[in-house]
């Protein structure tokens, strides 16, 4: 099933650079977001849909076959198709970006709770299993393999392939950033601030890994390939930085769930924050769109936001 709606409304004051596109489905709870190979932005709706939005704000929704699957994080593969985790469905979903057709691949072990997902260099995808405490790999043909994480109950969440070709993982409960070689060898790097609540991670334009410290640290972290850390408190107290991505302007951009901002940090640690027009939007995930702007999900207001930037 799909639903097509052209959204013309712009929410917020004229002084804000952010445009918000309301979704047609009430209580959609948009969460994961990524750019597909078709030149549109795709996102998950935890109510049970995968959404697609064009640069003009036209929204199409595709129903996930498994009811109550809780579609979660979303990422594009090298071919531009979309893959998403089903936190409650215990599956990995695949979306054909040309047709919107969805297929689902059950995980080998029950109650794994897959969360973060990212493109692999071999054309497949890497993902993490929160309850399973594993790193998974799904090949382009749908074959799934799983690798146990050595640290017990590490609570893996964010995942990205670093510039060194290794997989980098934000381990929330372990308070660590872990690296894993493609062959499955792990190294855990302890985050200096105790209980920092690390969540999401991205490769920066400076060749380092950047990550968010959500409730505990309220900071943006940076770790070099050699394991040296910086932790940089965001300007808004209690802002709760959550997701992070590298922008085309050479900076890092992040969401602030309670700060209700989109934040920017330069590689030399200069911050700027942009207020979201809607109150209590709970911005979740963020990505660079095909137009070079930042696109993000507003979990609470059932909207997709867009912030233009100067490259």
- Determine the distance from the C-alpha atom of residue 131 to the mean position of all C-alpha atoms in its chain, rounded to a whole number: 18
| Token pair belonging to 160 | 């990205």
The DSSP 8-state label assigned to residue 105 in this structure reads E
Phi-psi region of 267 (alpha: psi -120 to 50; beta: other; left: phi over 0): alpha
Residue 199 appears among annotated catalytic residues: yes
Rounded-to-integer distance, Cα 43 and Cα 64, Å? 12
Rounded-to-integer distance, Cα 294 and Cα 283, Å? 12
Cα–Cα nearest to 162, from 195, 115, 209? 209
Rounded-to-integer distance, Cα 195 and Cα 175, Å? 6
The DSSP 8-state label assigned to residue 251 in this structure reads S
Given the residues 73, 94, 137, 199, select the one marked as catalytic: 199
Q: What sections of 193-295 are H helices per DSSP?
A: none
Cα–Cα nearest to 92, from 105, 101, 74? 105
Cα–Cα nearest to 278, from 40, 92, 20? 20
Rounded-to-integer distance, Cα 308 and Cα 160, Å? 24
Contact of 149 with 135, CB cutoff 8 Å: yes
| Token pair belonging to 60 | 């199409």
| DSSP reduced 3-state for 288 | strand
Q: In what order do the strands lie in the sheet with 176-180?
A: 156-161, 167-171, 176-180, 186-190
Cite the active site residues.
Answer: 199
């Amino acid at each position: 099933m799909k639903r097509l709606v052209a959204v013309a409304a712009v929410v917020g004051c004229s002084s804000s650079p952010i445009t918000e596109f309301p979704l047609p489905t009430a209580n959609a709870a948009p969460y994961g977001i990524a750019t597909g190979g078709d030149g549109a932005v795709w996102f998950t709706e935890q109510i049970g849909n995968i959404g697609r939005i064009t640069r003009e704000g036209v929204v199409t929704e595709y129903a996930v076959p498994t009811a109550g699957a809780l579609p979660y994080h979303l990422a594009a593969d090298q071919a531009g198709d979309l893959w998403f985790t089903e936190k409650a469905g215990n599956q990995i979903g695949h979306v054909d970006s040309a047709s919107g057709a969805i297929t689902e691949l059950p995980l080998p072990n029950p109650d794994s709770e897959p969360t973060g997902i990212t493109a692999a260099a071999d054309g497949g995808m890497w993902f993490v299993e929160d309850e399973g405490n594993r790193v998974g790999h799904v090949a382009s043909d749908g074959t799934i393999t799983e690798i146990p994480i050595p640290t017990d109950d590490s609570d893996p969440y964010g995942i990205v392939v670093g510039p060194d070709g290794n997989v980098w993982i934000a381990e929330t409960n372990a308070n660590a950033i872990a690296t894993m070689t493609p062959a499955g060898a792990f190294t855990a790097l302890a985050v200096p601030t105790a209980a920092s609540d690390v969540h999401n991670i991205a490769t920066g334009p400076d060749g380092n890994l950047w990550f968010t410290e959500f409730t505990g640290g309220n900071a943006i972290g940076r770790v070099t390939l050699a394991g040296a850390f910086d932790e940089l408190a965001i300007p808004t107290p209690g802002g709760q930085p959550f997701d992070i991505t590298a922008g085309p302007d050479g900076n890092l951009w992040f969401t602030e769930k309670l700060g209700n901002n989109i934040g920017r940090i330069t590689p030399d640690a200069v911050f700027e924050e942009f207020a979201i027009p809607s109150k209590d939007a709970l911005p979740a995930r963020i990505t660079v769109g095909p137009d070079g702007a930042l696109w993000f999900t507003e979990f609470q207001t059932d909207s997709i936001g867009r912030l233009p930037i100067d490259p």
